[in-house]
Amino acid sequence: MNKYLVNLKVNNMPVSVEEGTTILDAAKKLNLRIPTLCNHPDLSVAGNCRVCVVEIKGARLLAASCATPVSEGMEVFTNSEKVRIARKHIVELLLSEHNADCTKCFKNGNCELQDLASEYRIGDHVFLDLVKPAHKIQDISSPSIVKDDSKCIRCQRCVRTCHELQGISALAVTNKGDHQKISTFLNKPLNDVVCSACGQCINRCPTGALTERNYIEEVWKAIYDPTKFVVVQTAPATRVALGEDLGLPPGERVTGHMVSALKKLGFNKVLDTDFTADLTIMEEGTELLTRLKRALVDKDETAILPMMTSCSPGWIKFQEHMYPELLNNLSTCKSPQQMFGALAKTYYAEKINIKAQDMVVVSIMPCVAKKFECERSEMRDSGYQDVDYVLTTRELAMMIKQAGIDFGKIEEEHYDSILGESTGAAVIFGATGGVMEAALRTAYEIVTGREVPFTNLNIQPVRGMDGIKEASIKIKNVKPEWSFLEGVDLNVAIAHGLANARQLMEKVKSGEANYHFIEIMGCPGGCLGGGGQPIPTSPEIRKKRAEAIYSEDAGMPLRKSHENPEVIEVYSKFLGEPLGHKSHDLLHTHYKPRKRY
């Protein structure tokens, strides 16, 4: 449909924009920045903070520019006296309700409220302090998230995130007036409600009201402890985002710099979760083929299809709360981080002759749900907690800054061996569709002996940012042992963001879908948009990170998980075969239903 162009003036400058454009976006076109707080490019319009108010000639009221569409002949002023006074008042009011103890705040230096306060030089407190003592008691019940109501400006971005993107509504607005706050069901601790621990709310909270539980000090302590051997693993998506927190633009690949920085921080070994991502493909791919055989040939009713991926702990927790009846659809594979932890404290410890109890495994993750995951009681198959600490990409950036490392200038280095080798298939785990693509690259080849029939191995139909993607791949000319798959259309689906996952689950539940394999990532865009990634986030930023991931893949010498030499070695020397006895003990897990209320 053609849209009309609307002509207006902003600060006396003419501009033409499509009808329906907000004043905020029209001003952006003129390179005029209007401050915002409640507005976010991933979310619906709220128009509640009011810092974006502007004056419209002839109007009695100021208009919230984020929520007001342009109209023909409109004359807007973004910086008139009226606007300035109102905006300053609004920031002062927010601060009067805010525990503005910036020096003690995790968001110090990356806080939208702080930025506004310093822009408007709000020093003297005109208004009375309204911070409620009860709000200063932080909710630290969750291993992933800290909720601090005394920092909350009620912009409701978190509420919209949890509802619109994640389809959960673990956070909601309760009460009204001076008692209004962002709360959980019955105001229970965050750990006792349906929260998936995905951390998406953290990524969109403009202040320090929602942050990750940070374990930086614990990790420093382990590094400084001479009796500890500290190994660190880095998830696929961290290497395309870390730079953002260290002064680089979105979409820079910083793999070698990250490895180098980790070595400089004092970790004993710098290893790669990508290695266990490849291993996941071996286990999960085999599991899929086995399930298909049991279901299609043996008519075994316990072989449940569609099989669903299990590498996103936010997704797993969601499923445990929301669809406990579909838990048997989940692959039993642990996430790559937990496979790594279990192998590090067994296979690897043995190899390098370190006692498991002296080893500390630290993960650098784009994720906060992994903090929850590593504390799950199922994740102690080495006899110890397999992964000791999970740091977000953001926390790593903070450590790098603390250590005075000039990130842009350091030499690139390689991961240590073993448990450091990986393929392009592992890297793309960081993007939605990546696990599917990696699995198809391997499974197709196992079954047919040929590479997947896509140019340069790039399986385009499973890539991209559509919330739900579907694809069907015809399997032809199979090897004799896979004859039952001859001519089968392998139907797959991919969803990212839990609201999309929910849609897909409803389709599965109603029986309307006939998928064989489903990939779900809890976060929008997959791990590259994870709850532990640098803030801010937006569709454009995630697109740049995705491009970086796929170019990293394209540049790798090995692009298929089953070709990873270290993976081949771990099977020959330790695990035996995929889904074998040892794999079962160390690399697979089970799930438990959780309550919704």
Partner 1 sequence: METKLKKVDIIFEDDKTISPIGILEKTIKRSADEIILDLIDSGLKGRGGAGFPTGLKWKFTRNEDSEVKYVICNADEGEPGTFKDREILDRVPEKIFTGMAICGYVIGAKEGYIYIRGEYNFLLKSIQAKLDKFNNEMKQKHIDFTIYLKSGSGAYVCGEESALFESMEGKRGEPRNKPPYPTVAGYNNKPTVINNVETLVYTTMICHMGPEKFKALGTTDSRGSKVFSVSGDTPIPGIYELELGMPLNKFVEEFGDGDAKAIQVGGASGHCVPRKKFNDTIIGFEGIPTGGSMMIFNSSRSMYNVLHDYLEFFTEESCGQCTPCRVGCQQLLKGIEAVKRGERSPSYLDDLKKLTNTMKIAAKCGLGQSVGNPFNSIVDNFREEIIY
* Whole-number Å distance between alpha carbons of 10 and 60: 18
CB 336 within 8 A of CB 235: yes
Residue 468 contact among ligand SF4, ligand FES, partner 1, none, beta carbon within 5 to 8 Å by kind? none
Residue 178 contact among ligand FES, partner 1, ligand SF4, none, beta carbon within 5 to 8 Å by kind? partner 1
The least distance separating partner 1 from the CB of residue 283, rounded to whole angstroms, comes to 45
**Contacting partner 1 (CB under 8 A), which of 11, 28, 30, 67?**
67
The least distance separating ligand SF4 from the CB of residue 263, rounded to whole angstroms, comes to 31
Using DSSP, state whether 266 is helix, strand or coil: coil
From 370, 371, 469, 544, active-site residue: 370
The least distance separating partner 1 from the CB of residue 61, rounded to whole angstroms, comes to 5
Could you say whether residue 130 binds partner 1 (CB under 8 A)?
A: yes
Q: How many other β-carbons are positioned within 10 Å of the β-carbon of residue 131?
A: 17
Residue 349 contact among partner 1, ligand SF4, ligand FES, none, beta carbon within 5 to 8 Å by kind? none
**Contacting partner 1 (CB under 8 A), which of 80, 96, 268, 538?**
96
Q: Which of 455, 461, 457 is nearest to 433 (CA)?
A: 461
Could you say whether residue 97 binds partner 1 (CB under 8 A)?
A: yes
Could you say whether residue 48 binds partner 1 (CB under 8 A)?
A: yes
H/E stretch holding 393 reads helix 393-402
Q: Catalytic residue at 573?
A: no
Residue 145 contact among ligand FES, partner 1, ligand SF4, none, beta carbon within 5 to 8 Å by kind? ligand SF4
From 97, 212, 252, 287, active-site residue: 287
Q: Which of 447, 389, 82 is nearest to 230 (CA)?
A: 389
Residue 60 contact among ligand FES, partner 1, ligand SF4, none, beta carbon within 5 to 8 Å by kind? partner 1
Q: How far is CA 313 from CA 63, 185, 295, in A?
A: 42, 22, 26
Q: Catalytic residue at 311?
A: yes
* Whole-number Å distance between alpha carbons of 506 and 393: 33
**Contacting partner 1 (CB under 8 A), which of 154, 376, 496, 559?**
154
Q: Catalytic residue at 287?
A: yes
CB 278 within 8 A of CB 561: yes
From 75, 92, 375, 378, active-site residue: 378
Is the CB of 153 or the CB of 435 nearer to partner 1?
Answer: 153
Is the CB of 154 or the CB of 469 nearer to ligand SF4?
Answer: 154
CB 277 within 8 A of CB 426: yes
Q: Which of 513, 559, 40 is nearest to 274 (CA)?
A: 559
Q: Which of 343, 272, 339 is nearest to 310 (CA)?
A: 339
Q: How far is CA 413 from CA 168, 255, 269, 323, in A?
A: 41, 8, 12, 44
Please report, as ranges, the residues that interact with ligand FES according to CB under 6 A. Answer: 36-39, 47-52, 64, 66-67
Could you say whether residue 317 binds partner 1 (CB under 8 A)?
A: no
Q: Catalytic residue at 331?
A: yes
Is the CB of 22 or the CB of 255 nearer to partner 1?
Answer: 22
3-state DSSP helix/strand/coil percent for the chain, to nearest 5?
45, 15, 45
The least distance separating ligand FES from the CB of residue 70, rounded to whole angstroms, comes to 15
Could you say whether residue 64 binds partner 1 (CB under 8 A)?
A: yes
The least distance separating ligand FES from the CB of residue 377, rounded to whole angstroms, comes to 43
From 55, 373, 421, 519, active-site residue: 373
Place of tokens 């991933």: 42
Q: Which residues contact 484 (CB under 8 A, 6 or more apart)?
A: 292, 293, 296, 297
Q: Catalytic residue at 205?
A: no
Taking each helix axis from N to C end, the angle separating 273-296 and 434-448, rounded to the nearest 10 degrees, works out to 60
From 331, 363, 382, 583, active-site residue: 331
The least distance separating ligand SF4 from the CB of residue 252, rounded to whole angstroms, comes to 26
Could you say whether residue 127 binds partner 1 (CB under 8 A)?
A: yes
Q: Catalytic residue at 152?
A: no
Could you say whether residue 152 binds partner 1 (CB under 8 A)?
A: no
Please report, as ranges, the residues that interact with ligand SF4 according to CB under 6 A. Answer: 98, 100-102, 105, 107-108, 111, 113-114, 145, 151-158, 161-162, 166, 168, 170-171, 182, 195-201, 205-210
H/E stretch holding 435 reads helix 434-448
**CA-based radius of gyration for the chain:** 25
The least distance separating partner 1 from the CB of residue 128, rounded to whole angstroms, comes to 5
Q: Which of 263, 418, 443 is nearest to 340 (CA)?
A: 418
Helix/strand/coil (H/E/C) assignment for every residue in 501-513: HHHHHHHHHHCCC
Is the CB of 95 or the CB of 518 nearer to ligand SF4?
Answer: 95
Site for partner 1 in 458-517 (CB under 8 A): none
The least distance separating ligand SF4 from the CB of residue 102, rounded to whole angstroms, comes to 3
CB 62 within 8 A of CB 90: no
Which amino acid does the sequence have at 399? M
For partner 1 (CB under 8 A), the number of binding residues is 38
Could you say whether residue 177 binds partner 1 (CB under 8 A)?
A: yes
Q: Nearest 5 degrees, angle CA 498-CA 499-CA 502?
A: 85
Q: Which residues contact 161 (CB under 8 A, 6 or more apart)?
A: 42, 43, 200, 201, 203, 204
**Contacting partner 1 (CB under 8 A), which of 6, 8, 43, 49?**
49
Residue 86 contact among partner 1, ligand SF4, ligand FES, none, beta carbon within 5 to 8 Å by kind? partner 1
Long-range CB pairs of 252-257, under 8 A, 24+ apart, other chains included: 252/548, 253/548, 253/551, 253/552, 254/407, 255/412, 255/552, 256/411, 256/412, 256/413, 256/414, 257/407, 257/408, 257/410, 257/412
Catalytic residue list: 284, 287, 311, 331, 370, 373, 378, 527
Residues that bind partner 1 (CB under 8 A): 45-51, 53, 60-62, 64, 67-69, 82, 85-86, 89-90, 93-94, 96-97, 126-128, 130, 153-154, 156, 173, 175-180
